[in-house]
Each structure stands twice: as structure tokens, then as C-alpha cells.
Amino acid sequence: MTDLFELDYQPLLPAKRDYGIAIVGCGGIVNYAHLPAYRKHNLNVVGCYDIRRENAEKAAQTYYIPRVYASLEEILSDPEVVIVDIAVQPWHQAAIARQAIAAGKHLLCQKPLSDTFSEAVSIVQQARAAGVKLAVNQQMRWDPGIRATAALIRKGWIGEPTDATIQVSVATPWEMWPWLAKVPRLEVMYHSIHYIDSIRYLFGDPAWVTSRHARSPLQGDVVGETKTITVLDYSSGLQVLIAVNHYNQTDDQFAIFRFIGTEGVINGTIGLMYNYPHGRPDTLCWSSKRHYPDKRFESKLEGLWIPDAFIGPMASLMQAIQEDGTPETDGADNLNTLRIVNAAYLSASENRSVQPAEIT
């Protein structure tokens, strides 16, 4: 029975984890997520590179990285580098990924793999043809609340899932990403993509995507949509609602999830979204008609979606390299997340529901 309560939500670390990692792009996310997570687990970051050399030097100094490369070519010709970890804007990512694949390096790419679906497909095809592993940094799958939810669902606590909701209504500090203010497709492409990927991790692929996008009167000259509602319908009857508002400036901000099944319910909070990027631990409560029907359970979870969950995609990539297996957030799988993201934009622009297979 104790096994029933074992939430095993911490990322599994592979036996071998001293693969040489080179970072390309040393901006915000690398400094407050990739490098803190890798340092905590003693990963072997051999060097870093940024077109703005001062950014690479600063990261190297802060995180004791032995080498600052002068070019991408230097990285690719360094035999110590096994994994190229890319963290640049998506429109710069493809060119770097292509060169790294041609040099036979394995890759961890940032999300979105590309802001153009056909480009993402071609990167994935090129990696497959070259026999290199390509994982995408969809680390929310390793967020403690999401991972623990997966364990509870696997152990049958809620029976057959029927309704899932992720609702986030916060004041997002957009000034952390000045470049995002200018992108035409913002909320789903850069933020809800995490919720979509987590929902796919928990429940698989939906049959239909319906999405509505809006601007907030508070968003000033931020170009893209900042308030979205996306509904995913599954052939099983499962319905998913993802509703996000990045301009809730009130004192009632929330980031909650609720997963209901035929026999139970799991609900919790996404701690990171309370005061991003400092956050607080996720919370998790559940109850079940199947197990201990008179009780309601709570778990204290450790670790945050950022930075702690960042060890997940890298660890899974390393595991795939040593077993010649497939990373959990493999590029080919990620195309299905991108299909839903792109289906959401098609749905919003054409005022209709879209099947993911329409995105080719």
C-alpha cells in the first residue's frame, strides 16, 4: 500500500552524466535556470558561447565554466563537446541546430523548437537522418506538481480522466524578455506551450483544438496576444481547458490546476507563477473514491518548475544517449506539441475548431 503514496516526482538522473556540454546563448534563461540546475547536479559544462561575448564571459565567470568559445565552429570542432545546449530566440535556433547536427553533436534545444512548424519538422528530420539525439527543453513535464500528478494518475487515484483545467491569471514581468514584446504570436507560442506539452504528457494527444486569443487593455505596445483560452477535446470525452491572463494586476492572482476523473480529483498550484521567477513550491491535494474514500491527501513538494525542473530534459537526453534510446522530450514528440500550438493559432484566426493533423 505504501507504493500507492510513492509520488516519485523527482527527475531520474542517468548513471553517466559527465558528458561535455557547451552552451550556445548565455542570456536570461541560461543564467537563472540551465546553469543553476546543472551546477546543482554537477554536470560537466565545458564551455559557452554567445554572439555577445560579454554575455558568455559573464556566465563563465558566475558559474566557473572553463572555456569561452569565440565561435560556434570552435564548439563544434571541440571533441570534448558531446551535447550542444541551445538557448537563443527560436528564429536563431535552426541555423545553430543544423550546424551542430552536421557536426554529429547531440542537442538540447529551447522551446519553441521553431516558431515555424515546417522548420521544426526539417530540424527533426535532419537530426534523425544524422543519428543524433535532439531533445526540447519542455521542462514543465518535470515540474513537481505535474510529475506527481502523473504518478497519481498512473496509480489509479482518479480513475479515468474526464476534465482537466489549468488556469493562470498573474502579472507577468514581460520586461525580463524585451524581445517578446515584439513577437506577433506570444502567449500560446511562448507560454501556454508549456501547459499544452504537460497536458500531452499526462493525457496524450487531443482530437480537436479550439482557441480564443485577446489583448489586455493593460498591455501597452506588447504586440501579441496576452490572454488566451484553449480547449482540447479528446476522443475519450476528456475535456481540457487552459486559460491564461498575463495582465491580472489585482491582488487576486492564481495559477492552479485541477484534474478530475471518474473516481477522484487532483488539484494544486503552480508555485513558480506566484512571483515569477522566484516562485514558491507547488501544492498538491487529492482525494479518491477508489482509495481511502473518506480522506483528502496533501503533499509537500520540493523544487520549482524553474530552475529545478531544468535537470529533467538534460538528464533524459543523457539517458537516451547512453541507452541509444529516445529522450522524453524528443524532437519528434515535440512536433505534436507544436502541432497543437499552431492549431491554436489557426483556430483563433479562423474562428473554428481545428484537428492537429491539419498542421503539416
Ligand X SMILES: NC(=O)c1ccc[n+]([C@@H]2O[C@H](COP(=O)([O-])OP(=O)(O)OC[C@H]3O[C@@H](n4cnc5c(N)ncnc54)[C@H](O)[C@@H]3O)[C@@H](O)[C@H]2O)c1
Query: Shortest Cβ distance from residue 40 to ligand X (Å)?
Result: 17
Letters for 251-290 (x = contact with ligand X by CB under 6 A, - = none) are: ----------------------------------------
* Binding residues for ligand X restricted to 295-314, rule: CB under 6 A: 306
Query: Shortest Cβ distance from residue 309 to ligand X (Å)?
Result: 8
Binding of ligand X at residue 51 (CB under 6 A)? yes
Buried b or exposed e, range 230-248, using 16+ CB within 10 angstroms: bbbbbeeebbbebbbbbbb
Which residue's CB comes closest to ligand X? Answer: 27
Binding of ligand X at residue 208 (CB under 6 A)? no
Query: Shortest Cβ distance from residue 326 to ligand X (Å)?
Result: 20
Strand order in the sheet with 45-49: 67-68, 45-49, 21-24, 83-86, 106-109, 134-136
* Binding residues for ligand X restricted to 73-132, rule: CB under 6 A: 87-90, 92, 96, 110-111
DSSP 276: T
Q: Residue 5 or 276: which CB sits closer to ligand X? A: 276
Which residues have C-beta within 8 Å of that of residue 235, sequence separation ≥ 6?
A: 207
State the cell numbers at 115: 516558431
Give yes or no for a contact between 342 and 71, defined as CB atoms under 8 angstroms apart. Answer: no
Closest among 293, 359, 296, 312 to 144, alpha carbons compared: 312
Q: Residue 108 or 354: which CB sits closer to ligand X? A: 108
Residue 41 has φ and ψ, to the nearest 5°, of -105, 15
State the cell numbers at 199: 497536458
Letters for 135-164 (x = contact with ligand X by CB under 6 A, - = none) are: --x-x-------------------------
Binding of ligand X at residue 190 (CB under 6 A)? yes
DSSP states of 16-33 as a string? -----EEEE--SHHIIII
Residues in the interface with ligand X (CB under 6 A) total 26
> Which residues partner with 284 through β-bridges?
268, 299
CA 265 to chain centroid, in Å, comes to: 24
Query: Shortest Cβ distance from residue 298 to ligand X (Å)?
Result: 27
Q: Residue 179 or 254: which CB sits closer to ligand X? A: 179
Q: Residue 127 or 231: which CB sits closer to ligand X? A: 127
Which residues have C-beta within 8 Å of that of residue 8, sequence separation ≥ 6?
A: 151
Q: Interface with ligand X by CB under 6 A: which range of 20-28, 148-156, 223-231, 237-245?
A: 20-28
Question: Contact positions toward ligand X, by CB under 6 A?
Answer: 24-30, 49-52, 55, 87-90, 92, 96, 110-111, 137, 139, 177, 179, 190, 306
